[in-house]
């Protein structure tokens, strides 16, 4: 019998958090929740409503819309993955663009929005058996998570990984703009006032630079396995 726990994975962008979280969730039959997708869906909404652009952000209008914005995760019956929905509409395919990436950290500074996202995240974790990745999962969302990981990697390697991913969908993208976006988001995510990205004191630090995905997965399972089998 296995003991269901909450697994928190934090770190800067493109450190491999979501890839590893997806793999682990599949093996454990846990729900994988990509908390960044929630901030991305909010950003897509704000762009669409013309509340935010490169030089303008009408925070108040977005905050006023909070009661009308319902974000949740629903299982896609074709691939069995939990995907972010905003007011019942799937947003997964619209939120990975550089246009969204360039504005999402600004959206993520707004405390009122964060509080609402954290409420949803708490509900998702009520029954445990959840692996959630993001920036504040081990520090703010689930400070009592049974296990927390903090992933790091060099900026250039992260930009290369993200560039390779984005280039598959957009052949006009350049490595330089991806690197600039990663620098911008690192800066905004770690220096913001509310729930900045930082390693929780009890998080296990994992450097992903020189390890393959299989090696990383094994490494994380070495920490996870004793916790999920301890109540046998």
Interface residues toward ligand DC, by CB under 6 A: 13, 35-36, 39-40, 104-105, 108, 134-137, 185, 189
* Structure token digits, residue 79: 């691939």
For ligand DC, the closer CB: 195 or 217? 195
The helix (H) or strand (E) run that includes residue 60 is: helix 59-64
Work out how close the CB of 32 gets to ligand DC at its nearest, in angstroms, rounded to a whole number: 12
Q: Please say which residue, 136 or 217, places its beta carbon nearer to ligand DC.
A: 136
In the complex, minimum distance from the CB of residue 136 to ligand DC, in angstroms, rounded to a whole number: 5
The answer to whether residues 229 and 2 touch, using CB atoms and an 8 Å cutoff, is yes
Q: Which is nearer to ligand DC, 5 or 108 (CB)?
A: 108
CA dist 153 and 182 (Å) reads 12
CB 146 within 8 Å of CB 5: yes
Q: Which is nearer to ligand DC, 25 or 228 (CB)?
A: 25
Among candidate residues 2, 18, 193, the one with its CA nearest the CA of residue 10? 18
Cβ of residue 182: shortest distance to ligand DC, in angstroms? 9
CA dist 178 to 61, 137, 192, 232, Å?
29, 25, 21, 47
| 86 versus 108: smaller Cβ distance to ligand DC | 108
Q: Which tokens go with 153? A: 């990697």
Which H/E stretch holds residue 121? helix 111-125
The torsion angles phi and psi of 108, rounded to 5 degrees, stand at: -75, -5
**Shortest distance in whole angstroms from residue 108 CB to ligand DC:** 3
Q: How far is the CB of 116 from ligand DC (least distance, A)?
A: 12
3-state secondary structure of 197: coil
* Rounded least distance, CB 103 to ligand DC, Å: 10
Alpha-carbon radius of gyration of the chain: 17
Q: CB-wise, 62 or 228, nearer to ligand DC?
A: 62
């Amino acid at each position: 019998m296995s003991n269901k726990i909450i697994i928190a994975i934090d770190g800067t962008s493109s450190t491999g958090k979501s890839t590893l979280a997806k793999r682990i969730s599949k093996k454990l039959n846990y729900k994988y929740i990509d908390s960044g997708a929630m901030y991305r869906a909010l950003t897509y909404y704000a762009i669409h409503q013309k509340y935010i652009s490169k030089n303008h952000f009408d925070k108040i209008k977005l905050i006023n819309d909070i009661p009308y914005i319902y974000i949740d995760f629903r299982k896609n019956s074709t691939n069995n993955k939990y995907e972010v929905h905003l007011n019942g509409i799937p947003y997964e395919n619209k939120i990975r663009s550089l246009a969204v990436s360039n504005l999402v950290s600004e959206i993520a500074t707004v405390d009122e929005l964060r509080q609402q996202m954290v409420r949803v995240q708490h509900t998702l974790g009520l029954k445990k058996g959840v692996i959630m990745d993001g920036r504040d999962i081990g520090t703010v969302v689930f400070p009592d998570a049974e296990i927390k990981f903090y992933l790091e990697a060099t900026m250039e390697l992260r930009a290369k990984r993200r560039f390779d991913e984005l280039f598959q969908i957009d052949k006009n993208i350049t490595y330089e703009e991806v690197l600039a976006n990663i620098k911008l988001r690192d800066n905004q995510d770690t220096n913001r006032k509310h729930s900045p990205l930082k390693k929780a004191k009890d998080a296990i630090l994992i450097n992903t630079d020189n390890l393959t995905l299989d090696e990383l997965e094994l490494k994380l399972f070495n920490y996870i396995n004793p916790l999920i089998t301890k109540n046998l």
